[in-house]
Amino acid sequence: MSAFAKKFFNQLKSKEFRDYLMSTHFWGPVANWGIPLAAIADTRKDPSFISGKMTFALSLYSLMFMRFAWRVQPRNLLLFACHFTNECAQLTQGARFINYHYIQGADQKEKTAQK
């Protein structure tokens, strides 16, 4: 196990890794992680606040950038993971939006109006 740890720490000290940490291949995805983290945090909020148009736009945005991250050479797997996470979060929000406004929400609105 110590040989693995030594190899790992030598890799972290390498010039290639330092160059990677100073590149846009690293800092671009790190900056983008705010979008999926916000979407995940929003899953605890009331679905009446979800914007269907924005959710759809962010879903398309993440799909396009997932493709870009996969096609660019060298592949940017950190960017791909960021947008994959965002795509999952936006699809969850989209399902909550549809459920609230078109399926379950109509029943709840009627119950509230009757009271």
pLDDT band, very low/low/confident/very high, at 107 (cuts 50, 70, 90): low
Whether 39 contacts 86, CB under 8 Å? yes
Q: Which residue has the tokens 């119950």?
A: 111
Q: Answer with the residue of higher pLDDT: 99 or 11.
A: 99
Rounded distance between C-alpha atoms, residue 115 and residue 106, angstroms:
15
CB 39 within 8 A of CB 58: yes
Q: What residues have CB less than 8 Å from 65, skipping those under 6 apart?
A: 79, 83
Task: Please state, for a pLDDT cut of 70, what percent of the chain lies above it.
Answer: 90
Q: How far apart are CA 14 and CA 31, in angstroms?
A: 24
